[in-house]
Each structure stands twice: as structure tokens, then as C-alpha cells.
Amino acid sequence: MTNSSKALHMPIRNMSTQPRELFPAGTVTVMRLDILSMNDSRPAVQTQSRPLWQVGAILEATAVRDVASGQLWLQIGQQRLPARLASNHNPGPLEGEKLKLKITGTTPLLAMETVDAAESSDSNLEALRRFLPRQVSPAPLLANLGWLMRSPEQLQSLPKPIQQGILQLWQTLPDFHVLQDAEQIQLALQHSGTFLESLLAGQNPNELRQDYKANLLQLKQLLNGMQLEAVHAYLPPGPLPSLTATLTAMNTGPASMAMLDVTAEKLSELQQQVEGNLARINSNQLLNDQITQQGLLSWLIELPFLRNSHPELLRLKISRDSGNANNVSAMWRLEMALDLGSAGQLHALILLQGKNLNIQLRSESATLVNQLNQSLKKLTSALKRVGLVISRIVCLHGAPVDPEGSPLNHLLDLQA
């Protein structure tokens, strides 16, 4: 298990400033507001740009009050949107009051909350303000890469520099079978893009050629050189990066480029997805760096890989506490989420303290749960052969519960 534990020691990117929590609440009471649905009885409003608003975006607004009824509107740019107070802050914002609002949810209503002025001045939070609204799920890009590699004629219809950039990006995706080796897992995580800046510090060209983010940046540069016409197709945002919320899997879905006929449109689609993926990796890095600057070890990593030549995405959270003064060894915590296509989604929570191991597997697919339960004895035997003490290993039916709703962090008792 020594080799397996070694895979957890990742190079850490050091940034010039220490970020605080991703969206710290601070000591200031937050005012929450909802933008009402378009079924609201008040006059219609302009909503053309609403689909472009994403969780994490920061907006400036002015409160507008109806003189007779006191009803609340928010003037955001050229739009005046009906709103309501969603927190206990009666009477709410005053007529003409300037507000800085952060989008916290988009369904079923557009939800916002006020942002502390001190928070908005933090340089790392300013960076997150740029990247979070632009980040998208990596799944659509992976689906398009897979489609292009399965359709050589489609790949060859693209300009040769773009073909080469796509091929180089594809070659950075590790194969699933390789990931069964501890040292190969370590290399794959190091080259996932999350630790690119540490690789840059090493000044090893071979390392950079294998890095996912480095090749994304190269492909972005090639696409920008094509001087493509800007398009504003809606791209689904990925789950908001978080080191506290439970991980959810992301499936690749259909290839959007397969539905486009014009090469320029395909390239524009590819360009948007590449830029959105880079914004997501940057967001993950900023979040990881915040924890590192606090002296903790914790990483949020999204690792694209190939299974039967099909691109998939493994989401991981790796963390370690520092133990305590009673000579209790540090605990490693590994959380994973993976979409297995028609088989369903798999969530895993693994706790390792010394040689004591706890494993909890979960899936909403009853068929997958049955298959996993049939393999638990084989898994237990394999783990015992490498010297681990199995405190508990269980496979449960249902989605994992968010830590805020259940003591997920303490569900598995290592001392029991």
C-alpha cells in the first residue's frame, strides 16, 4: 500500500496571494434575493441575456421600488427585473440602493445574494469572478473529441493545425488499464492540468507535452488564430467547484459537433468548449490553492481518461488531516464520482488511517449495486493481500448525502 499512498503526494501550485474561502460568508449578514419567474404578473422584462448568467457571476444592480405597492425591481444594466426578498431583511434594499450581487442558483428561480465589499477586493476572488461564470462541464468537449477520433473523415475536414492540436490533446488522456498501477495514477493526476504551474517550474518539456491543460492552451491558441466569428451557444456549466459539497458524476453525452454541418461552426463550438474547460481548471486550481495557503492538504481534481477508446471523466477530492497529539496517524480521505454510462453513476468514499481502510460505495442503480456487492469479497481479499486492515466495506443503494445534510465525513468509524 506504500505505492498506493505515494500517489496521493501531489505537487502544489504556489500563488502570490492567499485566497480565502471560495465564497466566504464573513461576518457580514448576507441579503438574499430572487429574480421572479417570467410568469410574474408585472410587466414583461427583457430577458435575452439571462441564459448567459451562471452560478458564481457577480453583478451590479440598483434597487427600484414601486411608489404605490413597494414592490421590488432590480435594474441590472439595461434590464429591469422583478425581484423578491428571500431572507429576513425587511424591508430589504431601499429605492436607489446600489447592490453587488452574486448568482447562487439558476433553478427554479434566479437566486442572488449580496457580496461583502471586502470580499470582492480579494485578488483571488477577483480571478474566480472571471473564471467561474465562464467555466463549463468538461463532458461536451470530451464527447466531441471521442466523436472526432471515431470519425477520421470529420477530423480531416478540419484545418491541419487544429487536427494536430486535437491529436496531441487526445494523447494526454490515460487509458483506464494504466490507472490500475499506483505510479501511473500519480503521473496521470500530475498531468491532469491541475498541477501545470508546478510542472512549468520544473522546466521539463516532456512533462509539458503530456499535460492536459498545456495542450488545451495550445489548442486554444490555434483556434484563436483562425479568427473565428464569435458565437454565443449555450454551454451547460459544470457543477460548481467545491471542496465541501459531495461530488457528482458528469456523463459525456452526445457530441454537439456531430449536429453541425459547417466547418466554421464546428470550430467555434470547439473554441467555446476549450475556453470553458480552461476556465474550469483555473477555478479548481484557485480553490485548491486557497486550502494550501491555509496549511492544509486538499485537492479537487478532474481527470479525463479513456475506457475502450471512449473518453470519460473521473472526479476526485483528495485530502489529509494532520492527526493529533495522541499519536493518532493522519487520515487520508478520497472521494470519487464516475459515470459508467448505461450502468449508472458510481460514488466512492475511502478513508485510510495507517493501515485501517473504510470504503463506502454508492449508486442509484440497483443493478450496479448488486454487481458491486457480488464483487465485495474479491475486493476485500485483494486489499488484505497488500496488508490493509478492512474496518468496513459496504455498497449502498442511493445517492450520497451532502455533508451539510448528514454527517458523511464521520459516517465510517475507523475505531469501531
Domain range for 58: 32-115
Query: Would you say residue 255 lies in a domain?
Result: yes
Which band of pLDDT confidence, cut at 50, 70 and 90, is reported for residue 328?
low
Of 340, 353, 338, nearest in space to 391 by CA: 353
Of 172, 258, 257, 163, nearest in space to 214 by CA: 172
Which band of pLDDT confidence, cut at 50, 70 and 90, is reported for residue 184?
very high
Which of 67-71, 246-250, 282-286 is predicted with the least confidence, judged by mean pLDDT? Answer: 67-71
Query: Would you say residue 1 lies in a domain?
Result: no
- pLDDT computed for residue 30 by the predictor: 73
Which band of pLDDT confidence, cut at 50, 70 and 90, is reported for residue 126?
low
Q: Which of 276, 311, 346 is the last residue of a domain?
A: 311
Which band of pLDDT confidence, cut at 50, 70 and 90, is reported for residue 210?
very high
Q: What is the count of structural domains for the chain?
A: 3
Question: Pick the residue with more confidence: 11 or 226?
Answer: 226
**Helices 263-293, 212-224: crossing angle, 10 deg rounding:** 140
The arithmetic mean of pLDDT across residues 298-306, rounded, is 94
Q: Do residue 220 and residue 352 come from a single domain?
A: no
Q: Do residue 128 and residue 111 come from a single domain?
A: no
What is the DSSP track for 369-397?
HHHHHHHHHHHHHHHHHTT-EEEEEEEEE
Q: Do residue 224 and residue 364 come from a single domain?
A: no
CA quadruple 25, 26, 27, 31: dihedral positive or negative? Answer: negative
Q: Do residue 262 and residue 297 come from a single domain?
A: yes
The arithmetic mean of pLDDT across residues 204-228, rounded, is 89
Question: For the segment 385-398, what is each residue's pLDDT rounded down to a tens digit?
Answer: 989 999 999 999 99
CATH number at residue 66: 2.40.50
Q: Do residue 88 and residue 163 come from a single domain?
A: no
Of 240, 241, 283, 243, nearest in space to 409 by CA: 243
Q: Which of 62, 93, 115 is the last residue of a domain?
A: 115
The arithmetic mean of pLDDT across residues 274-295, rounded, is 86
CATH number at residue 334: 3.30.750
Q: Do residue 65 and residue 136 come from a single domain?
A: no
In the chain, the percentage of residues whose pLDDT exceeds 70 is 76
Query: Would you say residue 18 lies in a domain?
Result: no
Say yes or no to pLDDT of 217 above 90: yes
What is the DSSP track for 34-89?
EEPPTT-SSPP---TTGGG--TT-EEEEEEEE-TTT--EEEEETTEEEEEEE-SS-
Query: Would you say residue 8 lies in a domain?
Result: no
- pLDDT computed for residue 416 by the predictor: 26
Name 392's bridge partners.
Answer: 358
- pLDDT computed for residue 11 by the predictor: 39
Instruction: Give CA–CA dist 29/292, Å, rounded.
Output: 27
Q: What is the pTM of this model?
A: 0.69
Count of CB atoms situated within 10 Å of the CB of 208: 18
Q: Do residue 108 and residue 130 come from a single domain?
A: no
Q: Do residue 145 and residue 274 come from a single domain?
A: yes
Sheet holding 310-320, edge to edge: 297-307, 310-320, 331-339, 345-353, 356-363, 389-397
Q: Do residue 160 and residue 263 come from a single domain?
A: yes
Q: Do residue 325 and residue 213 come from a single domain?
A: no
Which band of pLDDT confidence, cut at 50, 70 and 90, is reported for residue 110?
confident
Query: Would you say residue 50 lies in a domain?
Result: yes
Query: Would you say residue 288 lies in a domain?
Result: yes
Peptide bond before residue 241 is cis, with ω within 30 degrees of 0: no
Query: Would you say residue 4 lies in a domain?
Result: no
Instruction: Give CA–CA dist 389/115, Å, rounded.
Output: 47
Residue type, 32: R
Instruction: Give CA–CA dist 290/283, Å, rounded.
Output: 11
Query: Would you say residue 86 lies in a domain?
Result: yes
In the chain, the percentage of residues whose pLDDT exceeds 90 is 42
Q: Which of 99, 115, 131 is the last residue of a domain?
A: 115
Q: Do residue 395 and residue 327 come from a single domain?
A: yes
Q: Do residue 282 and residue 354 come from a single domain?
A: no
